Amino acid sequence: MKICIDPGHGGGDSGAVGTQPFRLEEKDFNLGLALLLEEELEARGHWTILTRRKDRSLSLPARAKLSNRTGADLFVSIHANAAGNPAVKGMEVYHFPGSKAGQAAAARILESIISAFPTHSNRGVKEANFAVLRITDMTAILIETEFITNPKQLQFLADPENQQNMATAIADGIEAIV
């Protein structure tokens, strides 16, 4: 399967920023997880492309166009969530409204992630008119791994073992939709 992995944000766009008990910018977390996911998927025989491999700016249309040019079968955008209330937590996966393939992929991948991290809140599969979901020609999902603004979840996201397990869980979910 050809999979385009999109580490959300980058360059001058830090995305959300966790500050307690330490500082972590979403763009850095997203890129790290995307690189681990790429390694995991390639080890399983999938073909992957990343929309960015370093800390650089890339517009939302450019991300989708890159994916469309490659003929990818699946577009996976990686993110960490944020909220004004630091107690908010949980994982969720988005797909474009009305996309049955997107809904099925989002459900399988979220199920796999929650199975790997059963103590985390399942915020469900959701629809959104996000540009990267709307402009892509293939099945597309956007994963919100956890809330970087929640101090406990920030520590979870920053842990290298959790990042590797998250990459494995996402890859398992992707393989369940093949």
Say whether pLDDT at 178 is over 80.
Answer: no
Rounded mean pLDDT, 98-115: 98
CA distance 38 to 20: 29
> Which residues span the domain enclosing 87?
2-177
Largest CA distance in the chain: 42
Domain of 155, CATH number, reads: 3.40.630.40
> What torsion, rounded to 10 degrees, do the Cα atoms 2, 124, 31, 51 define?
40
pLDDT at 102: 98
| DSSP result, 82-146 | --SSTT---EEEEE-TT-HHHHHHHHHHHHHHHHHSTTS-EEEEEE---HHHHS-SSEEEEEEEE
pLDDT > 90? residue 159: yes
What pTM does this model have?
0.98
Q: What's the structural domain count of the chain?
A: 1
Which positions are annotated as active-site residues? 144
pLDDT in tens, 41-88: 999 999 999 999 999 999 999 999 999 999 999 999 999 999 999 999
| Cα 95 from Cα 93, distance rounded (Å) | 7
